[in-house]
């Protein structure tokens, strides 16, 4: 049987791990339902979204399994820097689509398209510049 102290010890590090991966306002809960599996529920604010827009993941099973799966999920997330770059690319892509739909002149669109292409080519090998390097 898992004690409440063991539950806290298992889930308390998870919000900091999510923050380190660039997730904003992470929240981690452990839910126990009668006649059902235990659930570790993680949520965070969607980047660039409204305060009520969140993303989440749930992991069910016995407590050790659920925490192990949640930890593995976090470890597999891209770095905060890569996540920010991908979010920016998504916003830029939506801007380009909006420009095309609005019939914006190609002279305005071409620099955006070139930037998007360059970002797309470099996203996998992205390495942030070090300050003072």
Task: Please give the chain's pLDDT, 133 residues, in tens.
Answer: 789 999 999 999 999 999 999 999 999 999 998 888 899 999 999 877 677 889 999 999 999 999 999 999 999 999 998 888 888 888 888 888 888 888 888 777 777 777 777 777 766 555 544 444 4
Query: Cα-atom radius of gyration of the chain, to the nearest Å?
Result: 20
CB atoms within 10 A of CB 82: 17
Domains in the chain: how many in total? 2
Asked, for residue 131, whether it belongs to a domain, the answer is no
Inside any domain, residue 19: yes
Contacts of residue 96, defined as CB under 8 A and 6 or more positions apart, other chains included, come to 109, 112, 113, 116
The CATH number that applies at residue 55 is: 3.30.160
Residue 60 sits in the same domain as residue 85: no
């Amino acid at each position: 049987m898992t004690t409440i102290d063991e539950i806290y010890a298992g889930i308390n590090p998870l919000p900091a791990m999510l923050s380190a991966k660039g997730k904003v306002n992470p929240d981690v809960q452990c839910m126990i339902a009668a006649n059902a599996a235990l659930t570790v529920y993680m949520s965070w604010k969607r980047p660039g979204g409204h305060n009520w827009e969140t993303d989440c993941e749930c992991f069910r099973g016995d407590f050790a399994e659920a925490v192990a799966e949640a930890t593995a999920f976090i470890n597999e997330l891209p770095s905060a820097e890569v996540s920010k770059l991908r979010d920016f690319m998504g916003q830029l892509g939506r801007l380009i689509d909006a420009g095309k739909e609005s019939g914006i002149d190609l002279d305005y669109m071409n620099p955006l398209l070139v930037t998007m292409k360059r970002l797309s080519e470099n996203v996998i090998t992205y390495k942030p510049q070090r300050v003072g390097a």
